[in-house]
Amino acid sequence: DRVGRVPVLIAGHALLLPVYGLLLSSSGSAAVLFCLLALGAYYAATDGVTTALAGAILPEGLQASGIGLLVTVISIGQFASSLAFGALWFKFGLSSAVIVFGVALAGALAIATPLLIRLRPGAAG
């Protein structure tokens, strides 16, 4: 609550970047432990914050249906990205899939960060 929803949301997604890097470069129990902790922190920093941010932005009469639609779209997107990652892994190998998704995540963060920061102050909380 001290830093606001938007910085937490951005930082949560940014936590995935070192996970992709470790998948490319490391193995061993320390890397696996870091990846598991970072993935847990990612979910902790994004799941609740995303719906809280949407609730603050949506008009009062549309909050429940808007959040429901948001969660549905996110779930469909996660499913589609899982299928795409698996297809890339199968066709081109794990390293290629990790690189593609890491670059896509970095690009999405670069585009989304300034847009999220411009949200009205009350919504960005």
Distance CA 30, CA 24 (A): 14
Q: Note if the pTM is more than 0.85.
A: no
Distance CA 99, CA 93 (A): 10
98-112 pLDDT, tens per residue? Answer: 999 999 999 999 999
Query: Which H or E run includes 1?
Result: none
| Residue 15: per-residue pLDDT | 93
| Sequence-ordered alpha helix ranges (H) in 28-93 | 29-57, 63-92
Nearest to 15 by CA among 47, 32, 37: 37
